[in-house]
Amino acid sequence: MTMPTSLCPYRMQVHHIKQETPDVWTLSLFCHDAWPYEAGQHALVSIRNSADTLRAYTISSTPGVSPFITLTVRRINGGAGSQWLTREVKRGDYLWLSAPQGDFTCAAHPAGRYLLLAAGCGVTPIMSMRRWLAKYSPMTDVEVIYCTRSPQDVIFADEWRAFPVTLFAEEGAAQGFIPGRITREHLACIPHLKDRTVMACGPAPWMEFVEEQVKSLGVTRFWKEKFFTPSAAPATSGLKISTLQPVREFYAPVGATLLEAMESNKVAVNAACRAGVCGCCKTKVASGDYTVSSTATLTEQEIADGYVLACSCHPKSDLVLA
């Protein structure tokens, strides 16, 4: 089987697949090559073993603890990656993955006390790190809060019985769950909150809320892993973006990234990590003013020639794309 893209050089075989909740599955993979990773990192997956479609998924397993490398995926309607991984991929199939990526890890942010916050599928790196801390730093003070839609939506439900965790459920009262959504008052009751390193993963609005609340309560060490938010409707005003091949014009709202503007206007662009790491969304800007927050994978010559990572490019004026 030929490697589909140099971005995903590691071939892994599906050993087994487990359904976690009504819409979430864990794929357990076996890799014949050395593949060192840290708890909480993610990797790119070549969808349908293609070079054209890559998606980023958190590695839900834990190095030195889990027997397999695992990806835990929520099936999303219309999701090219999640539909393939949860409906079509079967035991014995091969997937191609990138090297591990990201610094949303305990190893990158060591501490004596942690507060790990998760919502929905954001629990995948949180569980990876919780196992790692239990194995390699058992004396660390760890508090975990996991927010779900309902008791039936708890991912890794059997495993959580081994770790202290506070569970919230927005719908459906059940023993062991706090009904409703997490509040400032709940966060304020966490012992030694100001002394904790807080790591949060979940939908963007939820992360914005918990970040605002814990920082207002005195937390100074806060790290989060962002989920991709689907494209917004095309803008009708703002900064004008022009493409030369083919010729067309569209608008980028002030504050939007170039990638967000391109995707909302259905301009062809390959994107995977959406964090300025993988280099998939490399785009050439022929003219215009912009700032960038990442140039990872770009050479000095490419930068001089006007190439940017669309996910990390912030237009400051009208742009022309080559």
Q: Output the pLDDT for position 279.
A: 84
Range list for CATH 3.40.50.80 in the chain? 113-225
Looking at domain 10-97, its CATH class is: mainly beta
Q: Which residues contact 187 (CB under 8 A, 6 or more apart)?
A: 193, 210, 213, 214, 217
CB 67 within 8 A of CB 26: no
Residues of the chain within CATH 3.10.20.30 domain(s) are 239-321
Q: Pick the more confident residue, 4 or 24.
A: 24
Give the model confidence (pLDDT) of 40-92 as tens digits.
Answer: 999 989 999 988 788 889 999 999 999 999 999 999 988 889 999 999 999 99
Domain range 239-321, its CATH number among 3.30.360.10, 3.10.20.30, 3.30.930.10, 3.40.50.300 = 3.10.20.30
Amino acid at 90: K
How far apart are the C-alpha atoms of 301 and 281, rounded to whole Å? 17
- Three-state DSSP class for residue 218: coil
What percentage of the chain reaches a pLDDT higher than 70? 98
So what's the pLDDT on residue 234? 80
Contacts of 271 (CB under 8 A, 6+ apart): 259, 263, 280, 281, 310, 311
* pLDDT value at residue 114: 98
For residue 146, the SS3 value is strand
Cβ-based neighbours of 50, under 8 Å, separated by 6 or more: 4
Q: pLDDT grade, residue 116 (50/70/90)?
A: very high
Q: Has residue 229 got a pLDDT over 60?
A: no
**Is this structure's pTM higher than 0.85?**
no
Pairing of strands 141-148, 166-169: parallel
> If you average pLDDT over every residue of the chain, what do you get?
92
Q: Find the helix or strand (DSSP H, E) in which 200 lies.
A: strand 197-201
Region label for 303, one of left (φ > 0), alpha (ψ between -120 and 50) or beta (otherwise): alpha
pLDDT of residue 231: 55
Task: Tell me the residue length of the chain.
Answer: 322
Token pair, residue 87, equals: 């409906």
Residue 302 above 80 pLDDT? yes
Residue for token digits 């190439």?
A: 307
* Whether residue 126 has pLDDT greater than 60: yes
Residue for token digits 């487990």? 18
Look at domain 113-225 and name its CATH class: alpha beta
Chain centroid, CA 121 distance in Å: 9
Instruction: Tokens 């919502």: give the residue.
Output: 119
Task: Give the number of other CB atoms < 10 A from CB of residue 220.
Answer: 11
Give the residue, 202 or 267, on which the prediction is more confident: 202
Beta strands 282-287 and 197-201: pairing type?
Answer: unpaired
What is the helix (H) or strand (E) element at residue 262, kind and residue range?
Answer: helix 258-264
Tokens standing for 121? 């599928």
- Secondary structure (3-state) at 232: coil
Task: Report how far residue 277's alpha carbon sits from residue 104's, in angstroms, rounded to the nearest whole number.
Answer: 13
Work out the number of other CB atoms within 10 angstroms of the CB of residue 228. Answer: 15
Above 90 in pLDDT, residue 7? no
Predicted pLDDT of residue 263: 84
Average pLDDT of the residues in 231-247: 83
Q: How far is C-alpha 29 from the chain's CA centre?
A: 19
Task: Please give the pLDDT value at position 232.
Answer: 62
Ordered strands of the 141-148 beta sheet: 177-179, 166-169, 141-148, 113-119, 197-201, 221-225
Q: Which contiguous run of DSSP H or E holds residue 303?
A: helix 300-304
Residue 227 above 60 pLDDT?
no
Please list, in sequence order, all residues whose beta carbon lies within 8 angstroms of the beta carbon of residue 168, skipping any fewer than 6 positions away.
Answer: 145, 146, 147, 148, 177, 178, 179, 180, 181, 182
- pLDDT bin (cut points 50, 70, 90) of residue 254 is confident
